Amino acid sequence: MKRCKVDQKCGACRYLAVPYSQQLIQKRNRVRELFPGVNVEPVLGMEDPYHYRCKIYCAFGYDRNGHVKAGLYQEHSHRIVYTDVCLIQNSRANAIIRDLCGIADQLHIEPYDEDAGTGVLRYGYLRVSHQSGDVLLTIVIGSHFLPKEKAFLSLLRKAHPEIKTVILNYNHGTDSMVLGPNEKVIYGPGSITDTIDGLTFSISSKSFFQVNPVMTAVLYQTALDLADLKKNETVLDACCGIGTISLLAARQASFVLGVEINPQAIRDAKKNAKINHISNVEFIAMDAEEFIRHLGERPDVVFLDPVRAGLSENFLHTLGSLQPDRIIYVSCNPETQARDTKILRRYGYRIRTMIPVDQFPFTPNIENVALIVRK
């Protein structure tokens, strides 16, 4: 096992001292407790559980010597725990963050002070393509401009040519949100691409894309295996995001409808369909509950992949009344998944099997894939 100097302070990976095989057992037991009587398969884990995060946030501040440093917030606080190396973050991202701090020091660009409302550098946000190694860097500032922008970009690009695009995001808010509403591209095309099972996806600063690309492929393949799609079947992807599950399912099904309330995500999904030359899919920007309430034909299979809060009661009642043959519920929060599946049981559904997938080694979090069928 590897050791970290700050794991007991920052709270990002509180299980670093627990053997990985034991973590997987604990996570399976947690799911079993939430779903008594359900067949919960062993957790699908990683061969190498380190440096898996390809979506990385950091906060900037001064260390005790007055140098610009980056780190993570201590759990339940806004105190920054500084570290040069994070054992769950992509190694390339760790190096970029270190050099970014050095360049800020060299150019005398100040970190943002939340209490005083002064300074510049607030957060760094990196997306790393697992397939190509390309990096999208978003610099979040609390000021109206980035001082010495040209020199900053020149030094950064010279040190890290893998950075293919840089975005300046403006966050003048007083809440805990990392990204502000406004941003501009100051270098490159504004996006990078990554692949899942042979499909290419465009990723911008605000696109939702799973943090662990190795296990994302496992997660989606698990969902598709449980769905067991047929060539004559229709699919509804009710939380489609940028179209990942929709486009993967479209290769196996007759037709896929992807629904998502976020218009930007739908624009990304349509772009991804074009990139991959997939035409048997349609993406619609609409509230999913409203959409299925007016859906003319019953889909054979419904995919659900909601946020941690889970699904609304109104949506679940509407979905239950729709009576699809099979529901694949992918959840990053088994507690809300357990709550939601109890409502679906009222409509004659049961959980046939569950397969947990460890997207987040060394943390308490677990992804859980459920196959839900009519009794």
Contact by Cβ (8 Å): 120, 111: yes
Whose structure tokens read 């509804």? Answer: 236
358 labelled as ligand-binding? no
Q: How many residues does the chain have?
A: 375
- Helices marked H in 192-259 — which ranges? 213-227, 244-250
* Dist. CA 68–CA 56, nearest whole Å: 18
Count the Cβ atoms, other than its own, within 10 Å of residue 198.
Answer: 9
The one catalytic residue in 54, 239, 240, 332 is: 332
Question: DSSP letters of 258-275?
Answer: EEES-HHHHHHHHHHHHH
Q: E strand or H helix at 8, and its extent? A: helix 7-10
What angle in degrees, to the nearest 10, is found between the helix axes of 20-34 and 334-345?
30
Distance CA 323, CA 111 (A): 54
Which residues, at least 6 apart from 115, have a Cβ–Cβ distance to it below 8 Å? none
**C-alpha 32: how far from chain center:** 25
The residue among 245, 291, 290, 235 whose CA lies nearest residue 265 is 245
Is residue 332 part of the annotated active site? The answer reads: yes
Task: Give 3-state DSSP helix, strand, coil % of the chain, rounded to 5.
Answer: 30, 30, 45
- Bridge partners of 121, per DSSP, are 111, 141
252 labelled binding-site residue: no
Q: What is the gyration radius of the CA atoms in the chain, in angstroms?
A: 22
The DSSP symbol for 123 reads E
305 labelled binding-site residue = yes
Cα 40 to the center of its chain, rounded Å: 24
For residue 47, what are the contacts with CB-CB under 8 A and spacing of at least 6? Answer: none
- Binding site residue list for S-adenosyl-L-methionine: 210, 260, 305
| Active site members | 332
Per the annotation, binding residues are 210, 260, 305
